[in-house]
Amino acid sequence: MAVETKDKVGVRRTTEYTAVTLESQVPAGPIEKRWDEHRFKMKLVNPANKRKYTVIVVGSGLAGGAAAATMGELGYNVKCFCYQDSPRRAHSIAAQGGINAAKNYRNDGDSIYRLFYDTVKGGDFRSRESNVYRLAQVSVDIIDQCVAQGVPFAREYGGLLDNRSFGGAQVSRTFYARGQTGQQLLLGAYQSLSRQIAAGKVEMHTRSEMIDLIVIDGQARGIVTRDMLTGKIESHLADAVVLGTGGYGNVFYLSTNAKGCNTTAIWRAHRRGAFFANPCFTQIHPTCIPAAGDYQSKLTLMSESLRNDGRIWVPRKQGDKRRASEIPEGERDYYLEERYPSFGNLVPRDVASRNAKYVCDEGRGVGDTGLGVYLDFADAIKRLGKQAIFERYGNLFDMYARITGEDPYEVPMRIYPAIHYTMGGLWVDYNLMSTIPGLFVIGEANFSDHGANRLGASALMQGLADGYFILPYTIGNYLAQAKLPKVSTDHPACREVEVEVETRMKRLLSINGKRSVDSFHRELGDIMWNNCGMSRNEAGLKQALKRIPEIRSEFWENVRVLGKNEELNQSLEKASRVADFMELAELLCLDALERRESCGGHFREESQIDGEAKRDDENFSYAAAWEYSGNVSRPNLHKEPLIFEYVIPSQRSYK
Amino acid sequence: MSHDTMDLTLHVWRQKSSKDSGGFVTYVEEARGISEHMSFLEMLDVVNEKLIEKNEDPIAFDHDCREGICGMCGLMINGIAHGPDQTTTCQLHMRVFKEQGITDITIEPWRAKAFPVIKDLVVDRNAFEMIIQAGGYISVSTGSAPDANSLPIPKENADKAMDGASCIGCGACVAACPNASAMLFTSAKIGHLGLLPQGQVERDDRVLRMVNKMDEVGFGGCTNIGECSAVCPKEIGLEFIARMNRDLIRASLAKGDSKKP
């Protein structure tokens, strides 16, 4: 079908793509054998022919970095792009806790099946069973690979790998490297990538941002980038394009994401025909350091292991401004312990987050802003001694003290939930290919494995599974079969997209309004957080859906971006990203409005039992895949039904 | 928690591009009413918002994760790499200046021949990439690894390797060194891989190639001053440099290379 658009905010475009139906490509047969049989059935590219193919990888985090390195090793020509000055800086680096793998080194009853089961259940039955099973299967290979690369995982005195239990799992299957697991896994991938760069198999483009996707004859054939140092807008062509560009949590402005994390790559791909699935599935982390003032630029997460020993409370009285130490025991409300006697302070992330919001909404929040609850270690220090607490949480306590200027050994920590991860993303089939042939999406950027909620230590697992062990196979299957006529950068499609990008940059620079990009981003973030954050309702979402297009129009009339395109221009970079967040925000709210059930990270106030989330399998057991219609405000919804043959859906209860 | 504010005088290095000569610009009005709870980069955000309001080009600086791990940020603050708190610039908070009664702050980019200035406070650290590409890896392709527990590693060695591996590649060590040497950075990677059994096969080659590359891309030599370690936000110790020098001698003898230690 031909789609022509001329909506108010975007640039005009004409794209040809074929009407798509959602084919998940999930193999049949017993779940344990599906991936093996699928691998056998997939077409291979002859080793001597691999060098004839070029693959573009956007993003250099765990997914993108691992994929680029592995495809380089296989013999493909890879072009890898990242917006940072080095591939080593991708935001995967900030993951603290660990990586899950069904190694069963503890002999505590873990297995591939159990990891699969936990992940499907943890995702609140909104993920694809076959994908999750495969994830659990390859998890064991990831650990082997990383150890061989020299990732210094924590070890026991006997020299073997240490494990811990994480995020409420009943088995110890989490591998870790101090509180810097993400950093070490990323450096492993980065080092492998550096080896391929040195070998000439990967051409690395740093400080280079993908601004749009090139689709020729219905196939993804390249990207248009902006060189962030010179402003040069350029087409890069390939036989397939892989997006490993991470999540879109910064649509909320304040999140635990890096400042540069953005949605542009997946959003522009969406506008070119890739369906966007379950955008409303966003994860909120309960133990972040609260915002201190209007100038706050990002939020910092602290490991949720803190809840093992800290007790969460707020004053019983509204507006109680006394210091924590002056509030007697009887006037403290240990609300999680009271409401959830069996799980107490260890209720899942979403439950802990929502309850913090409720007590703050009641005017019982603590700190200057009233948006915080206490996480108190006084009892634990009394019981175990300061030394024991130091040994368990020393680095977290230091980090907290540095940021807030308060000593958590003396006064209770203040915490508040923050956006942390996005389970939604571009829709992909079992081969990790989007609805645009030749466009693959891996890691947090796709929607595939976590359903409505991601378990702790599973993000690293998925990024590396996709990058090392899944995509390199499935992309070969595509390349071996696709008809890929030779194209060059003087193809009219390239020039057309380049002109659109140039026009967009010129337009942003020529508005010369009164408000900074950040002020718009903050305003958008406020709306998203208040109306589509921890808890959502119809009235709030409708209000957001009214406000977002208004801010978006104001943005395009009143934003002030100084300087020019042909230089390092950080305001222009931000403006281009925020423009895309403004569009994604609307889709996110539409999806949240459409999903009139509570599940995982998505809590609809209209759908609850006794104050707890009520999932509605009868009506909503599907992945919502949104197609861009040419009008940002009126996307088309497609549904991929989710079928559970192995893990039978049940309702969660933590009381 | 109180919202005490401070009035600062900032002297910021402004340079339009690598070809311009650049110079200090003083900001007073834009740096008034800074909350002591701001991070250093949030302080610069506030200054930039005011500059944009006045139609002036905001100050360019590198940053990303703002939680002390990505290594993207890095400024010389009153002559000290990352400022007075031995942490990353993003984790430095304004209360440190308040406590020390400092209101005059000079902000410069990293200064090193191998890190040319791109604009204002942004420098090009590609020289670090080239050192890693010269051998900062173990040559193992995906899929060829044996079971992870088939190779026990003494906990002490794994922990020591992790100390080196915690390097974030920010470049503070180079900026702090009077010789603009990259010995701490290079030795941290060589130490990380050299302490592990997986890293033994390529150990000699690795140190020769990385040290040669380090010299080739324009970093200076080490004269044991120790400023690098004193500013390192991850507290990587000088013993990594000593270890690298030992490896270098060993490798030079083994390979008959004339490389000086």
B198 with A184: Cβ contact below 8 A: no
Q: What is the pLDDT of residue A652?
A: 73
B1 with A229: Cβ contact below 8 A: no
Task: State the Cα–Cα distance between residues A293 and B46, nearest whole angstrom.
Answer: 12
Structure-token pair, residue A223: 């990207």
Residues of chain A with CATH 3.90.700.10: 285-420
Task: State the Cα–Cα distance between residues B93 and B70, nearest whole angstrom.
Answer: 18
Q: What is the pLDDT of residue A12?
A: 34
Task: State the Cα–Cα distance between residues B90 and A253, nearest whole angstrom.
Answer: 18
Nearest chain B residue to A189, by CA: B137
Residue of A86, A517, A567 for testing the chain B interface, max B β-carbons within 10 Å: A86
| Antiparallel, parallel or unpaired: β A77-81 and A219-227 | unpaired
Cα dihedral value A202, A204, A208, A212, nearest 10:
0
Name which of B137, B142, B161 is nearest A152 (Cβ-Cβ). Answer: B161
Give the residue with greater pLDDT, A519 vs B254.
A519
Q: What is the pLDDT of residue B177?
A: 98
Domain A2-281+423-481 classification at class level: alpha beta
The CATH superfamily label for domain B125-141+149-255 reads Alpha-helical ferredoxin (1.10.1060.10)
Q: What is the pLDDT of residue A244?
A: 98
ipTM for the whole predicted complex goes beyond 0.95: yes
Maximum pairwise Cα distance, chain A: 76
Residue A220 bridge partners (DSSP): A215
pLDDT tens-digit profile of B222-248? 999 999 999 999 999 999 999 999 999
B129 contacts on A by Cβ (under 8 Å): 86, 194, 197, 204, 206
On the question of pLDDT at A470 being above 50, the answer is yes
pLDDT tens-digit profile of A205-263? 999 999 999 999 999 999 999 999 999 999 999 999 999 999 999 999 999 999 999 99
Task: State the Cα–Cα distance between residues A133 and A270, nearest whole angstrom.
Answer: 27
Which 8-state DSSP code applies to residue A602?
Answer: B
Give the residue with greater pLDDT, A396 vs A510.
A510
A402 contacts on B by Cβ (under 8 Å): 85, 87, 91, 93
Q: What are phi and psi of A606, to 5 degrees?
A: -70, -15
Number of residue pairs across A and B with CB atoms under 8 Å? 224
A609: Cβ contacts below 8 Å, ≥ 6 apart: none
On the question of pLDDT at A6 being above 60, the answer is no
User: pLDDT-derived band of residue B68, with 50, 70 and 90 as boundaries?
Assistant: very high
For A280-293, the three-class secondary structure string (H helix, E strand, C coil) is CCEEEEEEECCCCC
Structure-token pair, residue A383: 């019981």
B149 contacts on A by Cβ (under 8 Å): 103, 105, 160-161
Average pLDDT over residues A160-169: 87
On the question of pLDDT at A16 being above 70, the answer is no
Q: What is the pLDDT of residue A611?
A: 84
A150 with B146: Cβ contact below 8 A: no
pLDDT tens-digit profile of A577-595? 999 999 999 999 999 999 9
pLDDT tens-digit profile of B78-111? 999 999 999 999 999 999 999 999 999 999 999 9
Task: State the Cα–Cα distance between residues A459 and A456, nearest whole angstrom.
Answer: 7
On the question of pLDDT at B258 being above 60, the answer is no
On the question of pLDDT at A423 being above 50, the answer is yes
| A610: three-class secondary structure by DSSP | coil
On the question of pLDDT at B260 being above 90, the answer is no
Give the residue with greater pLDDT, A104 vs B3.
A104
Task: State the Cα–Cα distance between residues A233 and A566, nearest whole angstrom.
Answer: 10
What are the E-state strand segments in A289-351? 311-315, 332-333
Name which of A91, A103, A158 is nearest B152 (Cβ-Cβ). Answer: A158
On the question of pLDDT at A13 being above 70, the answer is no
B162 contacts on A by Cβ (under 8 Å): 152, 177-178, 184
A298 contacts on B by Cβ (under 8 Å): 66-67
CA-closest candidate to residue A264, choices A504, A519, A86: A504
On the question of pLDDT at A203 being above 70, the answer is yes
- Please state the length of chain B: 261
Residues 205-234 of B with CB under 8 A from A: none
**% of chain B residues with pLDDT over 90:** 95
CB–CB of A424/A584 below 8 Å? no
What are the E-state strand segments in A160-218? 174-175, 202-205, 208-216
User: pLDDT-derived band of residue B7, with 50, 70 and 90 as boundaries?
Assistant: very high
Task: State the Cα–Cα distance between residues B189 and A191, nearest whole angstrom.
Answer: 10
B69 contacts on A by Cβ (under 8 Å): 93-94, 180, 183
CB–CB of A447/A424 below 8 Å? yes
Name which of B119, B124, B145 is nearest A147 (Cβ-Cβ). Answer: B145
A183 contacts on B by Cβ (under 8 Å): 69, 166, 168
Q: Say which CATH architecture domain B5-119 belongs to.
A: Roll (3.10)
On the question of pLDDT at A19 being above 80, the answer is no
Neighbours of A612 (CB within 10 A): 17
A150 with B196: Cβ contact below 8 A: yes
CA distance A200 to chain B (A): 11
CA distance A184 to chain B (A): 7
Give the residue with greater pLDDT, A179 vs B58.
B58
Q: What is the pLDDT of residue A654?
A: 74
CA-closest candidate to residue A463, choices A148, A94, A109, A30: A94
Cα dihedral value B82, B86, B92, B94, nearest 10:
-100
Average pLDDT over residues A331-354: 92
Least confident of A72-81, A272-281, A344-353, B103-112: A344-353
Residue B97 contacts A, CB cutoff 8 Å: no
Residue B171 contacts A, CB cutoff 8 Å: no
Average pLDDT over residues A169-188: 94
On the question of pLDDT at A139 being above 50, the answer is yes
B36 contacts on A by Cβ (under 8 Å): 405
Name which of A105, A155, A192 is nearest B158 (Cβ-Cβ). Answer: A155
Name which of A147, A562, A567 is nearest B148 (Cβ-Cβ). Answer: A147
Residues 16-75 of B with CB under 8 A from A: 16-17, 35-39, 41-42, 45-46, 49, 52-53, 55-58, 60, 62-72
What are the E-state strand segments in chain B? 5-6, 9-14, 23-27, 34-35, 76-77, 80-81, 104-108, 117-119, 122-123
A300 with B67: Cβ contact below 8 A: yes
User: pLDDT-derived band of residue A303, with 50, 70 and 90 as boundaries?
Assistant: confident
Q: What is the pLDDT of residue A406?
A: 95
B93 with A105: Cβ contact below 8 A: no
pLDDT tens-digit profile of B181-220? 999 999 999 999 999 999 999 999 999 999 999 999 999 9
User: pLDDT-derived band of residue A348, with 50, 70 and 90 as boundaries?
Assistant: confident
Task: State the Cα–Cα distance between residues A251 and A257, nearest whole angstrom.
Answer: 10
Name which of B36, B58, B144 is nearest A571 (Cβ-Cβ). Answer: B58
Average pLDDT over residues A631-648: 96
Neighbours of B169 (CB within 10 A): 24
Report chain A's mean pLDDT, rounded to a whole number. 94
CA distance A72 to chain B (A): 10
DSSP string covering B36-98: TTSBHHHHHHHHHHHHHHTT-PPPP---SSSSS-S-----EETTEET-TTSS-GGG-BTHHHH
CA-closest candidate to residue A578, choices A269, A229, A252: A252
Residue B138 contacts A, CB cutoff 8 Å: yes
Cα dihedral value A244, A95, A122, A427, nearest 10:
-10
On the question of pLDDT at A1 being above 60, the answer is no
Task: State the Cα–Cα distance between residues A528 and A535, nearest whole angstrom.
Answer: 11
Residues of chain B with CATH 3.10.20.30: 5-119
**% of chain B residues with pLDDT over 70:** 97
On the question of pLDDT at A480 being above 50, the answer is yes
Average pLDDT over residues A160-165: 93
B142 with A145: Cβ contact below 8 A: yes
Average pLDDT over residues A398-420: 95
Q: What is the pLDDT of residue A20?
A: 60
pLDDT tens-digit profile of A439-457? 999 999 999 899 999 998 9
Which 8-state DSSP code applies to residue A228?
Answer: T
User: pLDDT-derived band of residue B252, with 50, 70 and 90 as boundaries?
Assistant: very high
Nearest chain B residue to A66, by CA: B142
In angstroms and rounded to an integer, the radius of gyration of the C-alpha atoms of chain A is: 24
Neighbours of A85 (CB within 10 A): 24
CA distance A569 to chain B (A): 8
Domain A285-420 classification at class level: alpha beta
Nearest chain B residue to A73, by CA: B141
On the question of pLDDT at B1 being above 60, the answer is no
pLDDT tens-digit profile of A62-110? 999 999 999 999 999 999 999 999 999 999 999 988 999 999 999 999 9
CA-closest candidate to residue A74, choices A164, A196, A172, A182: A196
B159 contacts on A by Cβ (under 8 Å): 152, 155
DSSP string covering A80-112: EE-SSSSGGGSGGGG--S-EE----TT-SS--H
Task: State the Cα–Cα distance between residues A585 and A252, nearest whole angstrom.
Answer: 9
The label of the residue with tokens 């020729």 reads: A216
Name which of A259, A406, A568 is nearest B119 (Cβ-Cβ). Answer: A568
pLDDT tens-digit profile of A524-576? 999 999 999 999 999 999 999 999 999 999 999 999 999 999 999 999 999 99
Q: What are phi and psi of A370, to 5 degrees?
A: 75, 5
Task: State the Cα–Cα distance between residues A278 and A266, nearest whole angstrom.
Answer: 13
Name which of A85, A180, A301 is nearest B72 (Cβ-Cβ). Answer: A85
On the question of pLDDT at A404 being above 90, the answer is yes
CA distance A563 to chain B (A): 7
Q: What is the pLDDT of residue A18?
A: 46
A206 contacts on B by Cβ (under 8 Å): 126, 129
Average pLDDT over residues A131-159: 97
CA distance B255 to chain A (A): 22
